[in-house]
Amino acid sequence: MGFEIIKHDALGEKYYTMKHKSGLMIMVCPKAGFHSSYAVIGTLFGSINREFIHNGKRIRVPDGTAHYLEHKLFESEEGDAFKQYAKTGASANAYTSFDKTCYLFSCSEKFEESLEILFDLIQSPYFTPETVAKEQGIIGQEIKMYDDNPEWCVNINLMKAMYQNHPINTDIAGTVESIAEITPEILYECYNSYYNLNNMVLSVAGDVDPETVLAAADRKLKINGDVKTESVFPEEPYEVGESYIEQILPVSVPLFALGFKEDGSKGFATNKELLCTCIIQEAFAGEGSALYRELLDKKLINSSFYTEYGEGIGYRFFTFQGETKYPHEVSEAIKQAVSRLHETGISQDDFENARRSIYGRIVRGFDRTSSIAADLINSVFTGRNIYESFDLVSSVTLEDVNQRLTEQLDPDNCCLSVIKAITDVT
């Protein structure tokens, strides 16, 4: 069976997709004339997947296991994958988020060789008591480094305060104590549960022929039997756990993150829901918004201010973040503006301006191989079509956006996270 071609004539874009005989979903977006190519392979195994059922067996793993496994996969009996990438000239990396782990590289030459390294990396687990124990010290140092990172802490603290039961309230890397419980057996259990190729997706974008990708897959990928892995999550109340949390760190300017919790039981947002949220973000708090100008004029924020929307299995939240000397004042100003917004809705002018801005953002995204590859892999994990947002941006209405607003930004269900400067403590 060959590739299916998915086209979008108005954008002048297309990508190729297929379910490989190994079980891996492969997606390729050729971009002729681009100087670099980008590849990412991932699985829906992140920090929140700490409890799951694999082949009928219920398993609970220590916090930080997904991140730990990401580190360990770069090692094999043949050596370190980074050293192999150095020979091809590729720039390689990996990351673990709340809900997935991804391995990636970008290169301007020797793409096929680098892709083969990537295939070997995710198929060659090598865990021994000695190598696992060695990694505990390395990751322990990384955890301590993040414990001193104010930008990281303000966000992790916000999740801890907002979520009462959902594992998003736990640090992605775990703790020094939790990773000490990780064993080779635990890592192999997680690998066999989530790194089966039937649970994984490869996306490629750049000056690459889809047949080149397929040929490498045929050579390197082993056929995987399908496995059944079901992630288990506790029931999460709608209400935030705490309305305020703070930490003291050596920062020159305090940081704040104001998070509005939503009903996360629906899972990933649809394309239309997400587009409406993006319009609300831009119209209400973008750099051209009345709120942004008001907060800037009152010196409650600076140029570090931004908004973010997070969503996944069991969680959805909307945050406002940045530096401020007046975290409580900026929090109250935003909550008051939110209350007024629910009374008035987004205006027609703000809606149109936001829609034009997002239209440009969507089009520009198809000129970046990293954005294309990320969107392709996320389209499988979230069930969202990568072209649908472009189509929706011209058809979505102000009524759609204001209807979406009724589900978001509840001023009675929010939490303020603050990183205080040592000098602010009396």
pTM for the structure as a whole: 0.93
Range of the domain at 277: 244-424
Say if residue 36 is in the same domain as residue 125.
yes
The total number of structural domains that make up the chain: 2
Residue 425: per-residue pLDDT: 59
Domain boundary among 182, 202, 231: 231
Q: How far apart are CA 147 and CA 78, in angstroms?
A: 34
Q: Which of 4, 13, 51, 70 is catalytic?
A: 70
**Alpha-carbon distances, residue 222 vs 2, 22, 24, 124, 198 (angstroms):** 18, 6, 10, 11, 11
Say if residue 190 is in the same domain as residue 259.
no
In a domain, 237, yes or no: no
Give the containing element (helix H, strand E) for 70. Answer: helix 65-73
Catalytic status, residue 246: no
**pLDDT per position as a tens digit, 248-258:** 999 999 999 99
**pLDDT per position as a tens digit, 383-401:** 999 999 999 999 999 999 9
Q: Any idea what the CATH number is for the domain that residue 320 is in?
A: 3.30.830.10
In a domain, 236, yes or no: no
Say if residue 223 is in the same domain as residue 285.
no
Residue 227: per-residue pLDDT: 86
**pLDDT < 50: residue spans in the chain:** none
Say if residue 259 is in the same domain as residue 352.
yes
Residue 97: per-residue pLDDT: 96
Q: How far apart are CA 97 and CA 35, in angstroms?
A: 29
Beta carbons of 11 and 166 less than 8 angstroms apart: no
Rg of the chain, C-alpha, whole Å: 23
Structure tokens at 133: 């124990």
Residue 135: per-residue pLDDT: 87
In a domain, 239, yes or no: no
